[in-house]
Structure formats: structure tokens, C-alpha cells
Chains A and B, each alone.
Chain A
Amino acid sequence: MSDQHEAPPSVRGMGGLFRELGRKLAAGEAGALLVLLMVGAIWTFFQSQNARFLSPGNLTNLMLQQAAVATISIGVVLILLLGEIDLSVGAASGFCASAMAVLMVTHGVSPLISVLAALALGAAIGLFNGFMVTRFRIPSFVVTLAVSLTLVGLQLYVLGDTGTLNLADNFVTALTGTFFTPLIGWALGILVIAASLAFALIGRSRRHAAGLRVGGIGGLIFRTALIAVAVASSIFVFNADRGLPLVVCIVLLLAVGFAYLTERTRFGRHIFAVGGNAEAARRAGVKIDHVRIIVFVLGSTLAAAGGILAASRLMAVNQSSGGSDLLLMAIAGPVIAGTSLFGGRGSVWSALLGALVIGSIANGMDLLSLSSAVKYIVTGGVLIVAVTIESVTRMRRHRTVIE
């Protein structure tokens, strides 16, 4: 160990913490925090316009609405990390949900089998996308655009003349219709806080035991406090309405699972490598085409899962399921929350944060009864601003390298 690798004084106080935060904000590294500030601004604005915006009922509805988008966005993040794009996730969610409904309602197949079939269908769509992109080197936006059109057609076909299928009460509608009692909500919340603290402490002690540099204890306390406040206030708000929704737990579990996949496993590392420099990854022995195909499969499967959640929330599927602005929201969300469109940079958490931002704007505008025209213009404008910020920080990063 040379002196260069020695740990800095472990406690630098809150002043150092805030200086570090300011530096990271300027360098575009504290994306999550910036987005949370954005959410705060959006919420303040809409609350000032309509006092119902921050009511427990509306906030719970916001979460229920955005569960499907967030799920689809997790898949979109994986694909964006590769430096690819999947324009078929919206149509895939609609088609897979429609297929599930047809199996369940028209053919009387059991709900569980129908859900699994829908997910398998999603996987097959992703397999096709990935195969076309890797085998024939067709740009992913072309392949997935064509697939998207095809899926819209298939959706209209399987839904038949009526065009709408209502779901009976069963475990599919229960996905978004189940709320935990306040006690269970608090128990789960405390579990989440304890687990995040435990994992952080274990990781910290392992690094310490290995003689590696560990961050200041102040940062750990700050992070845990932030998580604790966020979790506790969420549970409080949910309990003031119908309780902690099951679907929120499902989406969080998916996010945690895919965050670990991308950040802690070899496969996840290879996703980032392919997105950062595919040729370098290839020369390092990464099977880049396998990585690409698997990621497309995961992306479409998550799209199918999102479609199922959307159908569960609507308690029906129809011809516009998966259509309209779903695709735009699912891709715009992660980009607004800091996942790069150019590959190799981003995080699964940006899917949730992005869904929160976009959902808050849409929900707030609905409360203000704004017209569709205004809603599209505002959402598009937000996206353009977000992409511009991303590109500017990217250029700044390049400049510092050259200097």
C-alpha cells in the first residue's frame, strides 16, 4: 500500500459533505438529487395550483398510475445502458397484456398461466429484437419500430371486433388492487430501512477489513437518514389513504433486483462495458452479442410485466392499451432522471425517479384539467430540457478529459 491509497480523515463534517455535494451537482454526478429537487419543485407548483395534489389519495393514485410505466422503464434503462433503444416496449406491453386477457377471459385459462404466457411472449419479442440487431446488424431503432407496428396490428387482431376485454376480479386485478394494513406497511418500511443500513454497514466493514478506503461515516448517516425519511413519509401518506399498495412493493422489488443485476454482477458489468466501448468489451472477451440479446429479452419481458400492471390498474385491456404516450413516458423518464441515451451511463433507479417526475407532471396537469395539447407540449419540453442537460454535462466531461 502506498501513501496515495490511504483513507482520508473519515469524518470531514457536514461542511465537507455539502461542498462535495455542490461539486457533484456541478459535474452532473448527483443526478438523483437533482431529480429529487425537480420533483420538489413540480410538487410545490402543482400544490400551489390545486390543494388536492399532495393529498394522500392523489399521491397513492400517482403511484398506482406510474407502476406500469416504472416497470417498463426499468427495461428501457437496461437497453439504454447498452447504447441501444427499444421503441417496441409500448406496443409489447399492450400486446402481451391483450394476449393475457384473451387467454384468461375468452379461453378461460387460469390467471397465473395467462400471466406467465404474457411474460413468455414478451421474452420472445425481445429475443426477436435482439436477434435482428445482433445477427443482421440492423440499428435497433429500425427493428423495434417495425416490431412495434407489427405488435399494434397483432393486438388489434387478438382483441377482435369488440376491442375491449374487461378483467374479472382475480389475482391479476389484485396486483394493483391490494393494500396492506398500516401495521404491515410500517413493518415493511422498517425492514427496508434496516436492510439498506445493514447492507451498507456490511459492505463498509468488508472494505475496512480489506484495508481499502471507506467513505466518511457522515455520508452513511446522511444516506440512511434520507432513506428513512423517504420511506417513513411514504408509509405515512399511504396509510392515510388505503394503505401501502402491493404494486409499489412489486415495483421496488423489481428495481432492487435489477439494480443488483446491473451493479453487482458480472453480467451487469458487461452491459455497461458494451454500452461504453463495445469493441473494448469484445477484445476483453465479453460475448457482446449474448449480452445484447439477453438485455433485449429482459427489456421486452419487463414491458410485458408493465402491460400486465397497466391492465390490472384499468381492470381491462383495449385497443389503446400500450399506445398513446406510454412509450414516450417510459423512455423519457429514465433520460430525464439521468440515464444516458448514448449508452454506458445510468441506473435502474432513474426508471423510478423518471416515472415519478413524468407522472407528477401528467397527474398535476390532469388535476388542472389542462388540454391534451398542453400536456403533450409540456412533456415534450421537459424531455428536450432533460436531454440537453445530459448532452451538456457529457460535453463538459469530454472537455475535462482533453484538458
Chain B
Amino acid sequence: MRDLPMLETEVLIVGGGITGAGVMRDLALRGIHSVLIDKIDLCAGASGGNHGLLHSGARYVSTDLEAAIECRQENELLRRLAPQCVEATGGLFVAVEGDDPGFIERFPALCARAGIACEVLDAAQARALEPHLSPRVIAACRVPDAAVDPFHLALAHVDHARRLNGSIYLAHTELLQFEMAEGEIRAARCVEHRTGATRLIRARQVVNAGGAWAMRIARLAGCADVDLVYAKGTLLVHHDRMARHVVNRLRPPGDGDILVPGGSVSLLGTTSTRVDDPDRVAPTADEVDRIVREGAAMLPALAGARYTRAFSRVRPLLQSTGTSDRAASRGFALLDHASQGLGNFCTITGGKLTTFRRMAEQAADLVARRLGRAQPGTTSTQPLPDDVAGRWTDARGAARQAWSQDRADDPILCECELVPRSAIDEIVATCQAPATCQAPATGPGQPEPSVIAMQTNDMRQPEGRVDLEAIALRSRVGKGSCQGAFCGIRVASHLYDRGHYVDAAGLLDLRRFLDERFKGQRPVIWGRQAAQLELAEAVHCGLLGLDGLEADDDPATPAQAAPAAEAGGARGS
């Protein structure tokens, strides 16, 4: 196995969820260099598998006052500092016939206690705002919930950090083991999954932002003090926007009781089930049916709606005793692992999308203090630059650009979501760009000279290989009604045209991409989705033969084919 050049940095961050991306930018704003690694890619875990709900905090007023207040504060900050990632939809909490009148009555006061603006509406007012609401709605409250695009957010954070001080992000890079000496982590040995090559990353501090995998990462450092339980949540994607507001059920948190309109779709969910293994979760037909049923109590049209995907992710919850997972704290914890005899390792875990900035800030405070860097974090005041990195993740942005540009020489490759060829080229260029390193300004907070030297020796983003998954993560490609069936083929052809694919590996990548998209489609294939998929399969398998790329199936050399007598032999009917 070959070795990639060693990287040296001040801080290694393990886990490319929104928290890890947040730590990366927070440190960069303090002038601290970091390397962020993820075994898959940005937002591959819970960060990319949630409602995209920027909580007002109202969801938690009855179960966790502290979390509610944190949400309210972070919601206000993010709207102001990263408006390009937020859609200020507002939120409704609606009760239907049979819901607990006592809870309905208490709710406004609970919100007030957390400082959350809560406007009480009658059923008619609520239905005027959201015509799809059930005639059985009996009460409603309006709160400042919003929709947030976690992919755009993470991409913009990583991009900003790269541009601030040349911090590095490595996708498909998994931590194998730590090299430890004298009560410290000295380096991390990683494997780059696309090539199988290994790489050593030397760092002075290590931040474990592994989300549901944080317990495993901590154990690699010999720490037994991270105690998580895994709550599987399943969500459905409806292919259109069914409401203008986030719609929550006005009752204590339960299954299938939130609908979040975001971009061109709506997300509906979730369920909560305890699981043992964060790597093996998939939606079940029962969960899907339950979510649709519960959602339809608020919005009856959800019963017959078209769903394009379902997905499950694992929420890491801090271990607590005697409470249900719904009631368990959605708060977060920063563990400094001093009790484990380690002075340069910390774990930031628990929490939720809405509070990621605060989590990142507390982790960065600890790291900066340990590095002897005094300056405070500035993420509560510094706006997030409205950059290009995440602009193709936004459905509105894509449509806007398509209409405003409408260039004859720039065909739309993804017709569901209006992604033009130039967007693909732009994303590929971003993925392949060497990490830019601005001339280091002198002054406190800059990396030490030795670190700079190491950096400039290895400035290129290693490999920089492009694949359809990476493009889909950074754009709306594959997110529309066709779910990649047609745009996947077109984008793959374009990658061949541009010379990014040069051999059969491109088709294998196309197949991997389609197989991956299918995992999300599989639980919700009925109605029009079944028709769509039948056509897609006829093209992908019947014509293109993606179901047998490795088979020795070369009609030009029939001598190698199996004897006809075997035909039809092996089958499972």
C-alpha cells in the first residue's frame, strides 16, 4: 500500500459534519491551521440526514429548557450571519382534535419562559396561512422556526476556512489509529478510501467531531469516557413544497410530527428508535407508513403525496439514565479527556444542527487555550461569506441562475433541478483546486514557521478525484424527481467529455452513484415512483448494462460465453 505525503497541522479535526466544519472555520478565524477529515464526505452522517430545521427552540420548551434557549439564541445568530443558508419560513405548531388541551394551553407560557416569540392563532387563521392544514386542526401557534441547508452551510464553512489560512479538508479519509507518546496524540494514520493509500497527519491538537462515531474515535485514543446511545431517525422527502411554514405538531415531541419546506422539497419525519450500530440503519416500510400517517393528521394531503426518498440517520445522544430518547438531552458536551490522561484531545458530541456554532466555539476555545493562543472566537459576530462553494446546493439559487444566464452554449444537464454544465465544471474545479494559501500575515495567531513550511510543500488537495457523489453533494444533481436517473447519465457523459473519466471506471462510478441514490428511493417506491423507476431500470440495465459491468459479457467473443445448456439454470423465482 502506498503512502501519501505526510501532512502537518496544528489541529486535526475528525468528522466532516457541521460541527467539524464549524470547528475548522472557528479555528481559521483565530489564525489556527487545521486539517479536517471525513471517512465519507461532508454531512454524510446526521448533519446531512435531518429535517434541515433551524429550531426556534419551541420544540424543546416542554422537555429541555436549556436546549430551547440555546436554539433560540443560535437561530437568531445564524439568520443574521449566514442568511444565504437560511430560509425564514416561520413555523407553526398545530394541534388536532384529540390532542392534549392542557399542553395547548401551557405552550405559549413555556415559549415565553425560553424567550421564544410565540403568536397564538385560531384554527381559521392557521388554515389561512397554510391551506393544506387539516380541518381537524383546533389550535395553532406561530414561532420563528426556519429552514437551513446543512450542505450549503458546511461547504461554506470549509471554503471560508480554506481561504482564511489554507486549512485543508480531506474527503474519503478515515482515521485508522493514533500514534501516541507521553500522554499525547502525536499523529494520526489515515486511509484514503478512493485509492487505498495511507497518510500520516501530524497535529498538536486533535478534535473528535465524529457525531455518532465519536465513541469509536475516542476509543482509538484510549478514552472510555464518551458514552453515547444511538437513536435512529427516519425522514421522508416529498418532491414539492407542501407548506410555506415549518409545521410541527403541538404536543410533546413524537413520531412524524414535523414538516419542513426547504428549497424545492419538503421533509417529513421523524421516528426515533434505539439502535446498536450507527452504520446499519435503513428506513423500514413500517416507519415510512407511520410517518405518512402521523404527518397526514396535520396535513391530509401527505397521505397521497409523492415521496422521492426516505433516509435514516443516527442521532448521537449523550447517555443518561431513566429517560426516553425523546426526553434525553439534545444538549451537547465537550469532553477534554483530562481524566483519561490525554492533554491534546477533546470530543465534542451530542447537540443538534441548530446549535452547531456554539458547539464548535466551545471546542475551539479549549483547543486555542491548549495551544496557548489567547484570542477569542469571532463566529458570533463574523458573517459567513456568501461564497460560491455552496451556491449549487440551493434550489432557488440554481433556478435563478438558470433563468438569468440561459446561455445557448451552456446546456442544462440536470433538468429536474436546472443545473447547467458550467455548474458541474465549477464544482469540479472547486474539488480539484489546490488549497490556496494566502501569504501569512505576521502577528499572533499565525501558524509557526515550521507548520507553514510543511503546508507549502503539500499544498495540493491530495488526489482531487471527482466523482458523481461529490458533485451531488455540492449541487442539486440527483435531487429532483428523476433522482439521478437521467442527470446522472448526462453528467457522467460530460465528465468523459472533459477527460475526468478516461475508462470504464466512469461507468462504475455512475453505477455506484445510482446504487447509492436507490438506497434512499427504495423505501418509498410506489405510485409514480414505481413507474419512474421501471423506466430508469430499463435504461440503466436493459440498454446500458450497468447490472453486469464486471461480467465477462463481451458479445464480440462469444466463445467465452457460457454454454447454452446452462441458460436459465440459476434463478430464484
Q: A and B: partners?
A: no
B-side interface residues toward A, CB under 8 Å? none
